Amino acid sequence: MRIEVQGAVDPRFRRVQDVFEENFGRRAEVGASVCAWVDGQKVVDLWGGLADVRTGRPWEEDTLGFLFSSTKGLTALAMLMLADRGKLDHDAPVAEYWPEFARNGKEAITVRQLLNHRSGLCAIDRPLTLDDLEDPARVAPALEAQEPLWEPGTHQGYCGVSFGIYVAELFRRIEGRTIGRFLAEEVSAPLGADIHLGLPPEAEERVATVYPPRRRDRILRGLPRLVWGRGVEGRVFRAFADKSSRTARAFANPAELGPKALRNVNTPRVHRMELPWMNGIANARSLATVYATLAGVASSEVQLVVPELLEEVQRRQSWQVDRVLRKPMGFSLGFVKEESHLFSPYPETFGHPGAGGCVGFADPPRRLAFGYVMNRMDWHLRSPRCLALCHAVYDCL
C-alpha cells in the first residue's frame, strides 16, 4: 500500500521527503512526522502513515507521538532554564537543594554530575510502581537510600530511567512547580508548541499508538545480533539478557514501564503522568520548534536560555565508553553528544534521541534544528529510519 505523505518541503530539501517516503516502503515505518528548520525557515514539515493500524486512523498534521528518551532533552532544557534564571548552580552539590539526598555516598554528587550521567546512580534498587510514581513522597525515600554503583565522577553510565526520577525531585524542590507544568507554562505556551509532559485528557484522541518492532525483524535480525553480534548492539542486547548487569538494572525499574511492558505506554494513565525520562508527547514540528529556538533559527523572538549557556552545551562535558550503553558517547548538562557518524557530523550538535528512533536536536553553527517522531519501535540501538532522515538533511545543506 502506498503511503500518502502530506505537508510541505523546500525544493532544496526534497531529498528528505524522498527518504521519508522510503521509510514506509523499505524500513517498516507505520506513522511519523519530520520537521527541520534552517536559517530561520521551516524547510521540512511532513507527516504520513497511520496513527492506529487497527482503526485505520491516519497520522494527521496534529497527531502526537510518544517521545521516550527524547523527553530527557526537554527535561535538560527545564534545568538549563533554572540555571539561566539564577536558581541553580550546576557545580553545587545536589544536597544543597535536597538535603536528604546526602546519604550512602551521594554527599558530594554535583548537579552537573547528575545531569551528565556521571553520578553512578544509573539504577534504583527499591522496586517502584506506577502508583509510587504518581506520588513524589513515595519515590523520594527510594532515591535517598540508593547507593551509587561506582564512585561518582569517575565514570559515565546512562541513567535511562533514574535520570528523570532524580531530576524531577530536584527540580520540584528548587522551582516549586513540576517539570511538566513548567514546560507547559514556560516553553509550550510561549512557543505555541504542541508538547506535553502530562497529557491533558482532551488531547488523548490525537496520540498515535506505539507498535513494537516487526516480529520477523526481531527473530531474523535481532536474535542473531543477541547471540553472535560483536558490535555495539550485540553487546547491549546480551547485557539486557543478564539481569545483574548495569544495563539491565538501568531499565528494569519500574517493571511496569520496562522493556517488556510496552503496552503500558499506550494507556491514558501513563499519558497523563509526568515521567521526565520517557513520556513526553509531541509531534516533530513542535519538537523542532523548541530546538530551533535554542539554535537561534526560529521565527519566534522568544529566548528560552541566554546564548552563553547554550555555548556551554555545545561543548562536550563528558565523553567516554558509556558503562550502560557500552558505546562511546557523551553528555552536556543532560543533552546527548553522539558519535559524528550518527545524527550529525558536528560535535556542537546537542539534543536527545529516544527509543524507536524519535529525536530532537539543534546544530547552532549550521543554523539547523530537527525533529522526528514516529510510532513504530525499532530493535536497533539507533534507528536506521531516523539516521537516514538526519543524513538527508545534512546532504541538502
Provide the residue ranges of all domains of the chain, joining segments of one domain with +: 6-73+181-396
Question: Are the C-beta atoms of 343 and 34 separated by less than 8 Å?
Answer: no
Which residues is 320 bridged to in the sheet?
A: 329
CATH class of the region 6-73+181-396: alpha beta
Q: Before 99, cis peptide (omega within 30)?
A: no
Residue 299 CB contacts under 8 Å (≥ 6 apart), including other chains: 40, 42
From the list 339, 349, 344, the residue with the least C-alpha distance to 381 is 339
Residue with cell 546544530: 363
The single-letter DSSP state of residue 371 is E
The whole-number pLDDT of residue 294 equals 97
Catalytic annotation on 69? yes
Question: Are the C-beta atoms of 36 and 44 separated by less than 8 Å?
Answer: yes
| From 33, 69, 70, 332, active-site residue | 69
Residue with cell 485505520: 56
Using only the alpha carbons of the chain, give its radius of gyration: 20
Distance CA 8, CA 44 (A): 6
Distance CA 35, CA 22 (A): 16
Task: Report DSSP letters for 64-114, one per residue.
Answer: BEE-GGGHHHHHHHHHHHHHHTTS--TTSBGGGT-GGG--TT-TT-BHHHH
The whole-number pLDDT of residue 229 equals 60
Question: Are the C-beta atoms of 284 and 371 separated by less than 8 Å?
Answer: yes
In tens digits, the chain (397 residues) has pLDDT values of 578 899 999 999 999 999 999 999 999 999 999 999 999 999 999 999 999 999 999 999 999 999 999 999 999 999 999 999 999 999 999 999 999 999 999 999 999 999 999 999 999 999 999 999 999 999 999 999 999 999 999 999 999 999 999 999 999 999 999 999 999 999 999 999 999 999 999 999 999 999 998 666 655 565 555 655 667 777 777 777 788 899 999 999 999 997 667 889 999 999 999 999 999 999 999 999 999 999 999 888 899 999 999 999 999 999 999 999 999 999 999 999 999 999 999 999 999 999 999 999 999 999 999 999 999 998 778 899 999 999 999 999 9
The whole-number pLDDT of residue 232 equals 76
The whole-number pLDDT of residue 77 equals 98
Phi, psi of 261 (to 5 degrees): -125, 40
Which residues is 38 bridged to in the sheet?
A: 41, 368
The whole-number pLDDT of residue 223 equals 58
The whole-number pLDDT of residue 219 equals 54
